[in-house]
Amino acid sequence: MCRSIIAGRTGRVCTIMSGMDTHFLGITELVEVPSVAVVVDVMRAFTVAAWAFARGAEKIVLAGSLNEALALKARHPEWVALKDGPPAAGFDAVNSPGLLRSADLGGRTVVQKTTAGTVGALAVKDASLVLCAGFVVAEATARLLRTRRSDGVTFVVTGEGGRADEDLACAQYIARRVTEAGTDAAEFLRRAAGSRAAAELAQGVRQGAHPDDVALCLELDRFPFAMVATLEGPLMVLRPRTMPSSVNEDPV
Ligand SMILES: O=C(O)[C@H](CS(=O)(=O)O)OP(=O)(O)O
Ligand SMILES: [Mg+2]
């Protein structure tokens, strides 16, 4: 239950819920390193990342630039390089859940570079806990936050300078779900379905897309794992963490 709301210009800055202080910020609005960060990119980076794990990927290296992604691929030819936008020389895949869902990624390392999602994760790389999320891993993400009993969580709303409604709706849903397990997702999913990103994907404005991408990005709790990003040497690496169904259990 909400104890108080501190509303900014967009009414989305800070909500204090049952002891959890939540901030919703765009990437450029991050002024300090958060303790706990949930980086949200529904369409499509972290829906794609979840599908990569579902298709067997061992880990995802989040690249800071196209050149870095290509350099990593050159150093590790067996890795799978993935970027958003149209297919490009040197890359093996695009940022589309519809296209990735039939890939065999068993044991592979994926290098991912996108416009918003991967940039948002790298912006909070020094946080003590970084989760990457979309609707497909919403409950597992909320459950991990619940087990941590964090006082404060910063949600990084990656799209459109923090205004992307599919990302903001998902962030608000996860935040609510941490403290109110029975939260109905319908209104949040409706907002995401009506977002500019969904329209652009449906209209073919965004390249490297499959007709099922929007629907796949709106599959609530499709996967039982949260996605945790940590620094491994110089690389920011994303891995799945399957969450037990009881909030009293520790994550495996
Ligand atoms: O692939 C996407 O949907 C977007 C890229 S763009 O908005 O189409 O340029 O990237 P993401 O980082 O997944 O939001
Ligand atoms: Mg996006």
Enclosing domain of residue 106: 1-252
Nearest CA to ligand 1 atom 3: 44
Quick one: DSSP state of residue 250? Answer: P
**Quick one: pLDDT at residue 244?**
80
**Quick one: pLDDT at residue 9?**
34
**Quick one: pLDDT at residue 19?**
65
Nearest CA to ligand 1 atom 2: 44
Kindly give the number of the ligand 1 atom that is closest to the alpha carbon of 45: 13
**Quick one: pLDDT at residue 15?**
60
**Quick one: pLDDT at residue 149?**
84
Nearest to 20 by CA among 244, 134, 130, 176: 176
Provide the domain count of the chain.
1
pTM for this model (two decimals): 0.92
What would the two tokens of residue 202 be?
């449906």
Kindly give the number of the ligand 1 atom that is closest to the alpha carbon of 115: 12
Residue 231: beta bridge partners?
A: 236
Residue 39: CATH number of its domain: 3.90.1560.10
Q: Compute, in degrees rounded to 10, the torsion defined by CA atoms 84, 87, 93, 94.
A: 30
Cα maximum dimension of the chain: 52
- Whole-complex ipTM: 0.93
- What is the CA(241)–ligand 2 centre distance, in A? 22
What would the two tokens of residue 88 be?
């490009």
Nearest to 222 by CA among 240, 237, 199, 202: 240
Q: Are 113 and 90 in contact (CB under 8 A)?
A: no
pLDDT in single tens digits along all 252 residues of the chain? 333 333 333 334 556 555 689 999 999 999 999 999 999 999 999 999 999 999 999 999 999 999 999 999 999 999 999 999 999 999 999 999 999 999 999 999 999 999 999 999 999 999 999 999 999 999 999 999 999 988 899 999 999 999 999 999 999 999 999 999 899 999 999 999 999 999 999 999 999 999 999 999 999 999 999 999 999 999 999 999 998 876 454 443
Q: Cβ atoms within 10 A of the Cβ of 233, count?
A: 5
- What is the CA(4)–ligand 1 centre distance, in A? 34
Kindly give the number of the ligand 1 atom that is closest to the alpha carbon of 48: 13
**Quick one: pLDDT at residue 211?**
97
Residues in contact with ligand 1 (CB, 6 Å cut-off): 41, 43-45, 84, 95, 114-117, 159, 206
**Quick one: pLDDT at residue 18?**
58
Residue 38: beta bridge partners?
A: 131, 155
Residue 180 CA to residue 224 CA, distance in Å, equals: 19
